[in-house]
Structure 1
């Protein structure tokens, strides 16, 4: 009987551990879904504010809103250490560029590696974009 009791106790502990893991995963999924819903609502609210504008007007508004991400002065660049990822973001539609910029804007590990958006816009990656990326030892992202 002791072997049976030991086996039964092990099964009970395993079941409880499994149930706790399932409950923890369920709570984590709920938190993730709530954050996704919040981000989606913010995005839709921004889109509604821009819905009455033409794509050119929307691009101008987004440029003004994200202009602070675009350029740093050369003096600041020479003082930067090597833990910097410089990126150029290009996309075929305004929404995809905006979505990528929003994701990059939420980046919060600057102490490990600084993220620097040096240019963004719509259209194909051009030779100018490639030259700019090379000048800053960066990468071009196409979305």
Structure 2
């Protein structure tokens, strides 16, 4: 009885909500997020009339909860640019974090700032030279 659930109703609906929100049909996208929450039996909903930024944050939070243990959270963060450097619009601001010494910071900035793709292995580069005008990017360090 061990099987992997490849695609779910929630994932399909949340992809549709993301497409609607990103095409400025914000209320229609939020309505789909609310329908997913109702389907799951959650007694919460988002109000209509959200800004684009707030709607995207609602979508991000719902994908994180609804698709828990599906292995898609990292790819979601990369797709929306959150893994980029803060100077390029990435990272998270206004976070609540607990330091190693037990101090609570309620306005922290998390700067992920790392390349989110693997290097091309050197043996592949040796056998398959980059195309004209192209060069492989190496992760620093």
Q: Same fold (TM over 0.5)?
A: no
Q: Which has the higher strand share?
A: 1
Q: Structure 1 length normalisation: TM-score?
A: 0.26
Larger radius of gyration: 1
Q: Structure 2 length normalisation: TM-score?
A: 0.27
Q: Which has the higher helix share?
A: 1
